Amino acid sequence: MEYKYFSKLFILISIVYLLSCNKLQINNFHQNSDQTTSQLLTHNFNYQRNTVSEQELDPPLVLVFEDDYNGLATNGFSSVDSILFFGTGKGYLIAFDLNKNKVVGKKKFGLSTSAPPTIYKNILYQAYDSGDYGLIAYDVVEGEKLWEIENNLTSSSPIVVENKVFYQSNQGKVYCCNFLTGETIWTADLKCFGVNSIAFDNGIIISSNLDGSIFALEYTSGIVLWEKSLNDKIFANPVINENHVYISTYNGYLYEIDMEEGNIIQSKDFGIPIYYGVTVDIDYIYVPISSGELKVLDKGSFIEVWSNNGSGPAASSVVVSNNYVYFPTLGKHLYILDKTTGKKLQEIELEGRVRSIPLIINGRLVIASEDDNVNIFAISK
């Protein structure tokens, strides 16, 4: 009798699980065919990988929602209207409605992902760093997978421009594929090893790699325009701003490089590893250092303007808005700083180490932390 009871319960649970937890289809998805390469439309930070935000939230902020989602969320989110998209460390793709504070779609594909997804014309492109395929294209409205690319595992968040998908595999090959069919248009074998995302602006793709090499590729053909070796290791994404490329390195250097020619314009030695990309606005460069400091430099002279100490190493690139700097750390903290003075305006402590770039959207600040949590903050009323 006990056995029959348990077996029925087991079957019921399995059915509920299968039905509820493996579907990703957003019927009323916003479609927008206008898109320029510098705009925020399909990816919440631009393809220059420069985490400057047009939106901001005035501190103090309060936690309005948190929940855990099958593995650590990717280190960035993509959103269209009120729908957030992100991947997880257990291979799930998740759609989350910010207005309703609930998951509206969820589907498991590969084994694990760490790069934020990209959305373009209702198609979600998600990279995988483990499993059988490196990139999938998924129609979010129809709820079906369009294509996948076997192998070519990648930690690079895809770029989609003019109906072409660009991404770099961990083995150092840059691919250009048709956005709808996945057919390869061109491949550039850079013969290196990368753990970060490529950047794009003005028709040039910038790739930076673990062995310290940087490549600039023409985006229609994949031809290498220039190549540079820094004799250092690069973990961080390259960042593009006003035709300059900013590279931060493992040995603690920041380089400013001319995007057209590949010449080093200037550099600065911080002496401590920098694992994440800088943020560049009109006047300043924000450098998140692994000692827990945020150093802010004058963009023209590279002279330090102010700095601030956080608890633990920087967890990602900082987000800079008109008035604030949002600075997350591995010490489980998110700091909101005054952009001009660096003064701490609010110090938020989370349950786990922060692991994503904060996203400010529709009056919400979204940030992922360890213990699989997605945390949402809003302005305190």
Q: Give the interface with other proteins as residue ranges (CB under 8 A).
A: 70-72, 89-91, 111-112, 129-130, 195, 210, 233, 235, 250, 272-273, 275, 290-292, 311-313, 330-332, 352-353, 355, 370
Q: Quick one: 43 or 332, whose CB is closer to other proteins?
A: 332
Mark out the alpha helices in the chain (DSSP H runs).
2-20
Minimum CB separation of residue 232 from other proteins in Å reads 9
Per DSSP, the residues of 163-217 read: TEEEEE-TTSEEEEEETTT--EEEEEE--S---S--EEETTEEEEE-TTSEEEEE
Q: What is the dihedral of CA 371, 56, 140, 194, to 10 degrees?
A: -60
Minimum CB separation of residue 291 from other proteins in Å reads 6
Minimum CB separation of residue 290 from other proteins in Å reads 4
Our CA angle for 116, 132, 141, nearest 5°, is 50
Strand partners, 319: 326
**Beta strands of 51-172 (E only): which ranges?**
61-68, 78-80, 83-87, 92-97, 102-108, 118-120, 123-127, 133-139, 144-150, 159-161, 164-168
171 burial class (0-12, 13-18, 19+ CB within 10 angstroms)?
Answer: middle
Minimum CB separation of residue 60 from other proteins in Å reads 23
Minimum CB separation of residue 241 from other proteins in Å reads 25
Q: Quick one: 84 or 289, whose CB is closer to other proteins?
A: 289
Closest by Cα among 273, 271, 282, 354 to 318: 354
Q: What is the DSSP letter of 354?
A: B
Minimum CB separation of residue 146 from other proteins in Å reads 26
User: What is the C-alpha separation between 93 and 86, in angstroms, rounded?
Assistant: 6
Q: Quick one: 56 or 370, whose CB is closer to other proteins?
A: 370
Contacts of 288 (CB under 8 A, 6+ apart): 274, 276, 278, 294, 314, 316, 317, 318, 327
User: What is the C-alpha separation between 23 and 108, in angstroms, rounded?
Assistant: 9
Structure tokens at 318: 């900082």
Q: Quick one: 205 or 234, whose CB is closer to other proteins?
A: 234
User: What is the C-alpha separation between 209 and 201, in angstroms, rounded?
Assistant: 18
Q: Quick one: 87 or 117, whose CB is closer to other proteins?
A: 87
Minimum CB separation of residue 199 from other proteins in Å reads 21
Q: Quick one: 210 or 378, whose CB is closer to other proteins?
A: 210
Q: Quick one: 275 or 286, whose CB is closer to other proteins?
A: 275
Minimum CB separation of residue 96 from other proteins in Å reads 19
Minimum CB separation of residue 311 from other proteins in Å reads 8
Q: Quick one: 272 or 378, whose CB is closer to other proteins?
A: 272
Q: Quick one: 4 or 381, whose CB is closer to other proteins?
A: 4
Closest by Cα among 91, 52, 88 to 72: 88
**Do residues 347 and 335 touch, judged by C-beta distance below 8 A?**
yes
